[in-house]
Amino acid sequence: MILDHVLVNLDKLVVKSANEAGDYGMLLGTQSTVKQRAEFAEKIKANPRNYIAQPTLSLSRVPTIIDDKFEGCHVDLPNN
């Protein structure tokens, strides 16, 4: 079952509320604490249709000039 998979793998997934924008109502599993994941799991169980889950992605990096030197910075481009 998909719900079981999400609950078991919260530490590896990004889970977002389907009704929020930006970073609101979101859990970034790789950067969350055990307590945060447990709290989020309860929210998901109470209303599973309100959440979507996806694996974390490695963002592309582009060379960027910062303080007169090049540094690699992550970039997230919209696909519209």
pLDDT digits (tens, 9 = 90+) for 6-47: 999 999 999 999 887 766 789 999 999 999 999 999 999 999
Q: Could you give the CA distance from residue 43 to residue 28 in angstroms, rounded to a whole number?
A: 15
Q: Could you give the CA distance from residue 62 to residue 60 in angstroms, rounded to a whole number?
A: 7
The phi and psi torsions of 51 (rounded to 5 degrees) equal: -130, 150
Read off the pTM.
Answer: 0.70
Q: Could you give the CA distance from residue 15 to residue 67 in angstroms, rounded to a whole number?
A: 35
**41/76: higher pLDDT:** 41
Q: Could you give the CA distance from residue 31 to residue 43 in angstroms, rounded to a whole number?
A: 18
Under 8 Å between Cβ of 64 and 70:
yes
What pLDDT, on the 0 to 100 scale, is given for residue 22?
A: 65
What pLDDT, on the 0 to 100 scale, is given for residue 44?
A: 96
Is residue 76 pLDDT above 80, yes or no? Answer: no
